[in-house]
Amino acid sequence: MFEALVEGLGLIFQAHVLVYFALGCIIGILLGAVPGMGGAIGLVLLLPFTFSMEPVAAFALLLSSWASTSTSGAITSVLLGVPSTAASQATVLDGYPMAKRGEAARALGASFTSSAIGGVCGAAALGISLPLILPVILAFESPEQFMLGLLGLAMVGSLSGQSIAKGVAAAMFGLLLATIGLPESQAIPRFTFGTLYLLDKLPLIPVLLGLFAIPELMELAIKDVSIARTGKSDGAGRGLLDGVRDAFRNWWLVVRCSVIGAYIGMLPGLGASIVGWVTYAHAKQSVKDNSQFGQGDVRGLLAPEAANNALRGGALIPTLTLGIPGSVGTAILMGALIMHGLRPGPSMLSSELPMTFSFVWMIAIASVVATLVLLKTVNQVAKVALLPGQLVVPGVLLFVFMGAWLGGASIGDWLSCAVFGVIGFFMKRGGWPRPPVILALVLGEILERSFQISTRIHEGPGWLGRPIVIFLLLVIITTIFLAARGVARDKLAGKVPAGEASEKNPAVSLPISLILFVVFVWAGYTALDWPPPVRQFPLLITVPGALLSLIVIIRDQLHLFATKKAKGTWNVTLRQASNDAWLAEALPFFAYVFGMIGLTLLVGQKIALPLFIAVYVVRWGHYRKRIAAAYAIGAWAILVFFYDQVMSLLFHPSYLALWLQPVLPSAVPDWLFL
């Protein structure tokens, strides 16, 4: 074993391998910082270049890129409040409030250091567990996967805001969204409204970016402030060192969360979805004073970031030893293994053990290298938090909408992003938590498949008696009980909630709860006409969802009447609620967004997006036309030379392209603007 470990390290320290390793780290850092990219996109881009490479050099390029993206992904979560992937949602809760306080450098320093420790611990867990972990993985069958998914939902639902009913109802809404499209049991479309776009499920990335990015960008636009609301930085050098010290000061929490992340990452299909929330909940419940969680507590940032990097090592275990990829990224890596003549399975633990250990070393070293590079650049990156909001918004919107476009290259993805931007805005202003929706959307298909398999194999609910299932069920009950007790204690103490779902605006929350109630009732009634395997899971969602929505409706009504009594008249109450929710300012912003989508149908993205940026900067930001023109040209260059020429994306075939291409001179390349 030790000889294989040393031999695996020696495979890396070859000159040409180190060159590819460094290149992969740089590419991973850049891609991780772009919303919507993530590690899987990087692997897709790099895989074709490895066809003619030897295996060690090929995986040095792929694994270093894959490991580095999760480290740099914290940049958008901290600076913009936009999770780059579903796994980095929990980072937003405390990372973004720190940036708004002017502590962006400290937050990034803590995040990068925690990521390095997590990457090393995850790789160590991979190396130690390789010969021993197979029985554990095999013990987690469909019933255990179902209960573990429910545990993730229970944690995020109970930790989002001061209303557990709202958190769980939001999770039920996310699960209902996950049932859209064709189920695996029978080819009967569910909730597609006759559209082809929804047959293949609701896409995750457009929904994720819409729910989180657009509301935060709208706040910057409406308030006309920088990300750092104070307008001052914590001092890049001092803040960076404070963040590094925070990670080492809380080393035991970081190590614990790294180990949790590594072993949860071993569970195919579930790890990346729930690991951030499980470790965030662990951090919140294990510290003495958790009153600042959600308001910028650095421990709420350290826990998920350590786990996110550690799960990379854990996720490789089922891929290498069982040939079971747990995510898109590991599926691509398994394809690369086969392409280079390495067959996942027992051989990776015997004849190919040195190669396997080289993978362990690659992940560990890449995490450290990426952290060192990013720590060197924190001083410059943190300055983004001080830029005027009106200059940040249009550029980030470009990356948000192009990130949404990456998945399906469909105008429906843009509409989904914009529509869920509206939903996310009203949820935020009405005090509804958004993370449960995304996590449930990610887990929905996995939960339904696990539930159906468990029910069929055990011919009923007999699987509920399995030991691990019972243990996880007790953990779920304990989690909800502790969360409910904490909420009740905070209310008795008169603590004012902050962070996600902290807004109190019953006039906005009541319509949301009413709409959710109607949606759940309609969906449940519609599902009654389907065969049992198709309707079973939607009914399991809609019944508790409707009941929870009804509870929230009653609470919202009581709060609204109490507010009206304090204000005096309904006119004053509703006007104040509208002002608090920024409804008047939100309408023009959404008009800009939907206008840009409409313009894209006519002239295409390469003209519509730069034109949108120019108009926004002049009319909304009140900047000079020269600045707007330079900004628009820069946006056009990114679209043409990065998204088109480098990534080879298919752009929307606009009406202008259909008319212009036949008459365009052959000397003029149409890819410059079509």
Beta bridge partners of 190: 181
pLDDT for 547-556, tens place per residue? 999 999 999 9
Distance between CA atoms of 580 and 558, rounded to whole angstroms?
19
262 close to 121: Cβ distance less than 8 angstroms? yes
Least confident of 227-241, 268-282, 382-396: 227-241
* pLDDT reading at 242 higher than 80: yes
Q: Which of 560, 578, 579, 564 is closest to 513 using CA atoms? A: 560
* pLDDT reading at 524 higher than 90: yes
pLDDT band at 517 (very low <50, low <70, confident <90, very high): very high
Considering the chain, what percentage of its residues have pLDDT values greater than 70? 87
The secondary structure element, H or E, covering residue 68 is helix 55-72
- 666 CB contacts (<8 Å, ≥6 apart)? none
Q: Which of 280, 273, 264 is closest to 122 using CA atoms? A: 264
* pLDDT reading at 173 higher than 60: yes
pLDDT of residue 633: 93
> In the structure encoding, which two tokens stand for residue 633, read together?
């040209």
* pLDDT reading at 420 higher than 90: yes
* pLDDT reading at 662 higher than 70: yes
Which residue did the predictor score with more confidence, 672 or 328? 672
Please calculate the CA angle 457-458-464 and round it to the nearest 5 degrees.
Answer: 130
pLDDT of residue 400: 86
* pLDDT reading at 344 higher than 80: no
113 close to 368: Cβ distance less than 8 angstroms? no
When mean pLDDT is compared over 161-170, 389-398, 604-613, the highest value belongs to 604-613
pLDDT band at 496 (very low <50, low <70, confident <90, very high): low
pLDDT of residue 500: 63
pLDDT of residue 419: 94
pLDDT for 275-303, tens place per residue? 777 888 888 878 777 777 878 888 888 88
Arithmetic mean of pLDDT, 358-369: 83
Q: What is the mean pLDDT of the chain?
A: 82
* pLDDT reading at 32 higher than 70: yes
pLDDT band at 126 (very low <50, low <70, confident <90, very high): low
Which residue did the predictor score with more confidence, 246 or 326? 246
Distance between CA atoms of 422 and 214, rounded to whole angstroms?
8
Least confident of 26-40, 159-173, 457-471: 26-40
Q: How far apart are the first and last CA of the chain?
A: 57
**Global pTM?**
0.80
Arithmetic mean of pLDDT, 190-215: 86
Which residue did the predictor score with more confidence, 339 or 111? 111
pLDDT of residue 421: 93
Distance between CA atoms of 390 and 631, rounded to whole angstroms?
12
pLDDT of residue 484: 74
pLDDT of residue 568: 78
Please calculate the CA angle 128-133-134 and round it to the nearest 5 degrees.
Answer: 145
pLDDT band at 325 (very low <50, low <70, confident <90, very high): low
Phi, psi of 190, deg, nearest 5: -120, 125
pLDDT of residue 550: 94
All structural domains of the chain with their residue ranges = 2-504, 509-567, 583-672
Arithmetic mean of pLDDT, 385-395: 81
* pLDDT reading at 152 higher than 80: no
pLDDT for 422-441, tens place per residue? 999 999 888 888 888 887 88
Arithmetic mean of pLDDT, 630-649: 87
* pLDDT reading at 92 higher than 90: no
pLDDT for 174-193, tens place per residue? 999 999 988 877 888 898 88
Which residue did the predictor score with more confidence, 29 or 485? 29
- The counts of H helices and E strands in the chain are 28, 0
Tokens 């398999």, residue? 453
Distance between CA atoms of 608 and 611, rounded to whole angstroms?
5
pLDDT of residue 133: 63
Helix (H, G, I), strand (E, B) or coil at 190: strand
Least confident of 40-44, 353-357, 471-475, 569-573: 40-44
pLDDT of residue 273: 63
Arithmetic mean of pLDDT, 401-415: 85
Q: How many residues does the chain have?
A: 674
* pLDDT reading at 497 higher than 60: no
Q: Where are the alpha helices (DSSP H) in 382-410?
A: 389-408
* pLDDT reading at 404 higher than 90: no
